[in-house]
Amino acid sequence: MRLFGLIGYPLSHSFSAQYFAKKFSDGHISDAGYHLFPLEDISILPQLIEQQPDLEGFNITIPYKESILPYLDHLTAEATDIGAVNCVKIDRNQPSGVKLTGYNTDIYGFKESLVPLLKSYHQTALILGTGGASKAVSFALKQMGIAYTLVSRSGQRDTTIHYSQITENLINKSLIIINSTPAGMYPHTESCPDIPYQFLGSKHILFDLIYNPAETKFLKMGREAGATTLNGLKMLELQAEKSWEIWNE
C-alpha cells in the first residue's frame, strides 16, 4: 500500500484526508492511502518517516511550512525563493538513504483560484499574515503583477504594516484582501482578522485561505458589504491535485 499524508498541528480542521479518500474511491485507486499525522513538534518528522516505510509523500500545513526546511535535502527553485513548502516527495531508493524534496503547490492553487475573479481594477492587495502560506501568496501575486502590502500583528518592518495602520484609504486602494492567518479556522469560528470592514465595497475580493468553516466571519462580513468572497476549498483541491502529480512523476 502506497501511503501519503498531511503533517501539521492541530489537524482537526483539515479536509485533506476526505479529499484524497474520495479521489482514490472515484478513481478506483486501491493501492494508496492518505493519513493525517498530527505532529506536536516538527522534530518528530525523521522518526515518523522511519516508522512509516510506505510513506512516499506528504503535505504540510500550519505551523510547519517554514520550520520543515532544515529537514529537507532539496528544494525546487520556487520553494527556495518562497522559503516555504507544502508538499514533500520521499525518495527511499538513494544510495545515501532517504531523500526529501520540498515543493510549493500553494502557488498554483492560489493563482488558479483567484484568476477567474479578477477585473482590470484589481491591481493592489492586502495580505493578512506573514507565515508560510503568506509567502506563497506573495510570490503568486508578484508573478501576476499585483502589488501588495503585508499586514502583521508584530508590527512594521520593510513592506509589512501593523493592523492598526490599515486606513480607509488603504482599504479603498487594496481591492484584494487575502487572509492567510488561522483567524476564524474551526473550532475558533468567531474570530477574524482585525481590519476596518466598514470600508469594504462591491469592488473588493475577500479570499480566505481557510475552508473550514466554509464561510468564516471574515468572509461573512465581506459578503454583507457587497464584496466578492472565496474560501480556500478550491485552492486546497488544486494544490492537492498538483501534489498528486508530483508524487507520481
Query: Each residue of 221-242: b (16+ CB within 10 Å) or e?
Result: bbeebebbbbbbbbbbbbbbbb
Q: Which of 31, 74, 37 is nearest to 59 (CA)?
A: 37
Instruction: Report how far apart, in Å, the C-alpha atoms of 129 and of each of 54, 153, 182 are.
Output: 35, 8, 9
Give the active site residue among 23, 65, 111, 242: 65
> Cα(158)–Cα(232) distance, rounded to whole angstroms?
28
Give yes or no: 65 in active site. yes
> Cα(84)–Cα(104) distance, rounded to whole angstroms?
7
E strands along the chain, which residues? Answer: 2-8, 32-38, 55-60, 74-75, 87-94, 97-103, 124-128, 147-152, 160-162, 176-179, 205-208, 228-230
Give the length of the chain: 249
Q: Cell numbers of 7, please? A: 503533517
Residues catalogued as catalytic: 65
